[in-house]
Structure 1
Amino acid sequence: MTGFARVEGALAGDSWCWELKSVNGRGLEVRMRLPSGFERLERDIRASASGRFARGSINIQLQYQPAATETGYRINRALLQTLLDLVAEHESAPNLAPARLDGLLAVRGVVEAAENDAGDSDAGVEAGEARLAAMLADFNVALDRLAEARREEGARLAEALGQHVDEIALLVAQVRNHASRTPEALRQRLRDQIAALLDANAALPEERLAQELAMLATKADIAEELDRLDTHIAAARDLLGKDGPNGRRLDFLCQEFNREANTVCSKAFDGEVTRIGLELKVTIDRFREQIQNIE
């Protein structure tokens, strides 16, 4: 399912923007890009997304702009000291250039933006928690909007899928009502094949002849396949009318459609029935392609 949602928010001079994009996928894949310092949001984001959606590749991006007054940076001295100690341990290693301070400061986490730190005071911690809570609230709004966009697309797809199911039903009815499947046509087909057997081997034993007749009758009978196709058509219409993630069920149903259509084509002894059966397979394949786009 494809969709897009964008939500902007602000609190105490800080501002942010969530952008969510969804594209088709067999399973659920959540990817996110968060600014440094907001990694703690990842668990809540992933849990909310997986609780809302079952299929699709969802890309989540957070853009954050701190208040204009909070522009300072600080040095993570503990991390810097750890790096310095590591340099001292390996200063005699051959073919190793001496470490430079600018290189150490470039290591991620050594220089931290002050706005990403809520502060050590109770007021600072409380303000930081309030900011994160507001950001998560806006993220859930973005999820709602993305879900609505996917529902709108789903409604359009449901209409197209319903048309495919109607086409499948029409083709199945054409096979069922074809003149070659009338009792007289089937009897004539059997007579012709029996005559061919007798010409090939006039001394064909009665027992063998009965076996051949039974085999011919079985090969010509596609009533069970057509009945199962009717059952699958009813099941597809039922699933398309239900709310909730039914993509996997419909995907499995497509496999059953294909199985019966293949059997109809293999048993067909009339060219027109074969043509209808091939058109049936093409329509089922179009139906299956659209199924990949829904949850």
Structure 2
Amino acid sequence: MIRSMTAYAGGEREWDGWALAWEVRTVNHRFLDLSLRLPEALRFLESEVRGRIGRQVRRGRVEATLAWKPAVAGTAAIQLNPQLVGQLLEAAREVERLAASSLAPFDALAVLQWPGVLHQPEADRDRLAEQTLALLDETLDQLIAGRETEGRQLAALIEERCAGIRRQAAIARERLPAVLGAIRARILSRLAEIGATPDADRLEQEMVYLAQKLDVAEELDRLETHLNEVSRTLRQHEPVGRRLDFLLQELNREANTLGSKSADAETTQISVEIKVLIEQMREQVQNLE
């Protein structure tokens, strides 16, 4: 399934007094560029996380962030260290004794802010890893679904441009006999104006040579071949962005040749319209994986 490189997904879950939250966003990039942010306590999962993301996302700039904290309503949200609190209070009383005076009243919140007074219980490492990776898989499924939805929309837009190029090419192909006939008539008219009487066989040879030089049927045939390959590529179940980039270069090459061979204003305009459609396709292809 064709995929866009632009998407966002987030997943949350609570487990055993802890809250886990993944955020994954992707934008277009030539290659896979992964930026991963994990809490220090979960850094041991980095290799596995990178592997799972890499198996799902083949191309694009990926920013994945994991948040891990005690759940607000969790039983493990706050745990007091009474032994340390007692030691702090005893130390404060000793300070007052040495100062031989009563100091300012104790602020309970200030005591709670002392390092170690509040602490978080250790989570089960194996179960935490299992929950974290399971949530990552769910988030990646959501991300891929979003990339595929936008990919289908981009593919439809590209197919519309392909259809537009085919219509322009058909007009150019229909005009070929009329264009060549007009050139022949213009040359004969000019010869008549100057009173020249060229050798009929030589004139016919020159007309054939000129017709071959201005004939764009081959370019139109290659345009059609490349357009068919674009449509076929859009139906593949693998990353197609780079292949489409190459095909657009080939389409643009044929459009430029069509313009350089143009012998009338309308064919020149057709070449311009085709290049505009190709550029519109390029803007869409840049967002495809």
Q: In structure 2, the residue corresponding to 1:244 is in which secondary structure? A: coil
Q: Does 1:239 align with 2:236?
A: no
SS of aligned partner of 1:9: strand
Aligned 8 A contact 1:37 1:116 in 2: no
Counterpart residue number, 1:83: none
Decide whether aligned partners of structure 1 residues 234 and 291 sit closer, same or farther in structure 2, where only a CA change above 3 A counts: same
1:126-275, aligned counterparts within 5 Å?
A: 127-178=124-175, 181-182=176-177, 185-190=179-184, 192-193=186-187, 216-275=210-269
Q: Secondary structure at the match of 1:15?
A: strand
Paired amino acid for 1:259? R
Structure with more relative contact order (C-alpha pairs < 8 Å, separation 6 or more): 2
CA distance in 1, matches of 2:201, 2:50: 69
Using the alignment, how far apart are the partners of 1:207 and 1:198 within structure 2?
Answer: 17
Aligned to 1:243, the other structure's residue is in SS state: coil
**TM-score, normalised on structure 2?**
0.74
**Structure 1 consecutive aligned stretches of length 4 or more whose deviation exceeds 6 Å:** 194-200, 204-211
1-structure distance, mates of 2:126, 2:80: 20
Q: How many residues are treated as equivalent by the alignment?
A: 244
Would the alpha carbon gap of residues 55 and 220 (structure 1) be closer, same or farther in structure 2, given more than 3 Å must change? same
Q: Deviations over 1:181-213 (max 9, x none)?
A: 11x64255246458879999x8x9999989865
Residue equivalent to 1:28: 32
2:68 to 64, 69, 89: 64
Counterparts of 2:280 and 2:272, CA distance in 1: 13
Give yes or no for contact 2:77–2:120 (8 Å, CA) kept in 1: no
Return the offset for 1:216. 2.4
Check 1:259–1:198 CA distance in 2 against 1; reply closer, same or farther (3 A cut): farther
- Larger Rg belongs to: 2
Taking structure 1 as the reference length, what is the TM-score of the superposition?
0.73
Question: Which region of structure 1 is more displaced relative to structure 2, 233-242 or 207-216?
Answer: 207-216
| Cα distance change on mapping 1:157 and 1:243 into 2, 3 Å | same
CA distance in 1: counterparts of 2:185 and 2:57, whole angstroms: 59
The 1:46/1:196 distance shift into structure 2, 3 A limit, reads farther
Say which SS state the counterpart of residue 156 (structure 1) adopts.
helix
Match of 1:38, SS state, is helix
